[in-house]
Amino acid sequence: MLRELYVIFKGFVRTFGALQIFFLRLLQHSPSVFVKRFRLVVHQIYNAGALSLVIIMVCGLFVGGVLGLQGYSNLARFNAEDSVGTFAAFSLLKELGPVITALLFAGRAGTALSSEIGLMKATDQLAAMEMMAINPLRRVLVPRFLGGAISMPMLTAVFNVVGLFGAHIVAVNLMGVDAGAFWQQIHSGLDPSDVYEGILKSIVFGIVASLLAVWEGYNAVPTAEGVGRATTRTVVSTAIAVLILDFMITAVMI
Amino acid sequence: MIDQTDNIVEIRDLDYSIGERQIFKGLNIDIQRGKITAIMGPSGTGKTTLLRLITRQAVPDRGHIIVDGRDLAKMSQQELYTLRRKMGMLFQNGALLTDYNVFENVAFPLREHTKLPARLIRHIVLTKLHAVGLRGAADMMPRELSGGMERRVALARAMVMDPDILIYDEPFVGLDPISMGVIVRLVRKMNDALGISSIIVSHDVQEISTVADCSYLISNGKVAGSGSPDELHNTSSEVVRQFMHGMADGPVAFHYSAPDYAEQLLGRDTE
């Protein structure tokens, strides 16, 4: 029993170390790839970012709507329904925006990344690039990593804006909260530091989600089952990592 | 190391194992410059692994691999990439980039490594595609191609940088007799006209005999026999004879090592 735990622990430490070295290698190549192969990065921003917009916006609208409903019905008990704007903005900008965007991003873009890379590996495309003296790290992995990491904060911003819009529709248009009070409360209740916290989270989550997606794809067992498993692991490990990091960042920032 | 200039690849005392299984045990091979060298052997002897070692996609446990006078183990990644630009490799399954069409696949190394004008790239790519008979398929996607066509596109891609060494992993599998004949002649022609050194991994004894200058037969992690096709055909070695003539009985077992047949069928092996 203890022995098994030790083996699991050792495996975890080893994987975690390898992941960090992989991350450093990605970072090492990132600046030059960003400058020299900007078109590849833009293409990946389109893949990871633009193509995720629909799911981000739909989810953002409904999350905002729920916040509006919940906020209104609870705050109304204290005759504080005017504060529903602050409530929604706080929740969205600081927590729900970055976290839900990261989870959706893992499901929509992360899985696409890891299965694409895994399949390229399984069909020898990465080895073929190696043989053509083209570093797959620079040609395939780094552009995808950068595309994801750049897209995530932007997607979070979109999610927050649409979410606030959703909260506005529910609270103001349906429940009859005064629009002036709604926005005034947000304006006076929110500090810049609250916004920065959300931005910091979205940047960190973007890096983590993209890193894990590229990592899982690159380390996939080159079979149909292996690629499928890598895709699943991308979502699972991103979710765990994002929620743990969310707690840690919140604890530090408070 | 007798004469370095004569051999493009030299393999010395090579040991390599995957997990518990030892693939090569003291392997020695010389591949002459400007010649066509065939590596033959029963399936599972690690022929493809040998190609991976020669191109340093894998690193040996022990021994030296010297390519073009330089020890692979002592190369930096930059030097390795410089060397690989002079190598073309044809993968067993083609390994075409599935996101690009045939033309872009063949143009890929040129676009990555050179700043040639588009017209020139077009010219080079169409010439290479014409050589493998697929100029008409330039706009097709890899998934629309048959296995044999895919292999021919991959061959065009391997040639496009005009390499010094061409490495073929089972180039004849899945080709119809017509394209096989064309490809065999193409391999021969490139060797004679351009002085390219070719390494062909295959177990197609007939085709290899028509094209190779020199063959190595690998069995049990060692070279079991080597020489020109004629020499191999008339050898006294049991292993070589068995392989060249496709005999079931001989020193090389057809069956992968397994428990006793009758015992296993009766279910006694699990005890």
Written as one string, the DSSP assignment of B236-255 is --HHHHHHHHT-SSSSS-SS
The band of B47, judged by pLDDT with boundaries at 50, 70 and 90, is confident
> Residues B132, B134, B135, CA angle at the centre, nearest 5°?
110
Quote the distance between the C-alpha of residue A218 and its chain's center: 19
Helix H or strand E encompassing B38: strand B36-40
The band of B1, judged by pLDDT with boundaries at 50, 70 and 90, is very low
Of B82, B95, B109, the CB nearest to A125: B95
Residue A202 has pLDDT above 90, yes or no: yes
Most confident option among A127-131, A155-159, B251-255? A155-159
Q: Are the Cβ atoms of B95 and A134 closer than 8 angstroms?
A: no
Chain A residue with the nearest C-alpha to that of B96:
A125
Tell me, what's the pLDDT at B5? 55
CA atoms of B125 and A133, how far apart (whole Å): 18
Buried b / exposed e along A200-232 (16+ C-beta atoms within 10 A): ebbbbbbbbbbbbbbbbbbbbebeeeebeebbe
CA atoms of B102 and B98, how far apart (whole Å): 9
Which residues in chain A are contacts of B84 at CB distance < 8 A? 130-133
Predicted complex ipTM: 0.80
Q: Are the Cβ atoms of A123 and B93 closer than 8 angstroms?
A: yes
Whether residue A45 contacts residue A147, with contact meaning beta carbons closer than 8 Å, is answered with yes
Which one of B54, B91, B92 would you mutate to disrupt binding with A, by most A Cβ within 10 Å of its Cβ? B91
Q: How many CB pairs under 8 A join A and B?
A: 51
How close, in Å, is residue B25 to chain A by CA atoms?
25
Most confident option among A202-216, B48-62, B243-257? A202-216
Whether residue B191 contacts residue B34, with contact meaning beta carbons closer than 8 Å, is answered with yes
The CB density around residue B15, as the number of other CB atoms within 10 Å, is: 15
Tell me, what's the pLDDT at B270? 61
The CB density around residue B131, as the number of other CB atoms within 10 Å, is: 18
Cβ neighbours for A6, distance < 8 A, ≥ 6 positions apart: none
Which tokens go with B212?
């190779």
Gyration radius from chain A CA atoms: 21
Query: Mean of the per-residue pLDDT values for chain A?
Result: 93
Of B92, B98, B109, the CB nearest to A132: B109
What is the mean predicted confidence (pLDDT) over B237-262?
A: 76
Residue A113 has pLDDT above 70, yes or no: yes
Phi/psi zone of residue B95: left (φ > 0), alpha (ψ -120 to 50 degrees), beta? left
Q: Are the Cβ atoms of A123 and B95 closer than 8 angstroms?
A: yes
How close, in Å, is residue A25 to chain B by CA atoms?
14
How close, in Å, is residue A140 to chain B by CA atoms?
12
B108 touches chain A (CB under 8 A): yes
**Distances from the Cα of B140 to the Cα of A234, B157, B165, B174, angstroms:** 33, 15, 28, 20
Which residues in chain A are contacts of B170 at CB distance < 8 A? none
Which residues in chain B are contacts of A40 at CB distance < 8 A? none
How close, in Å, is residue A222 to chain B by CA atoms?
13
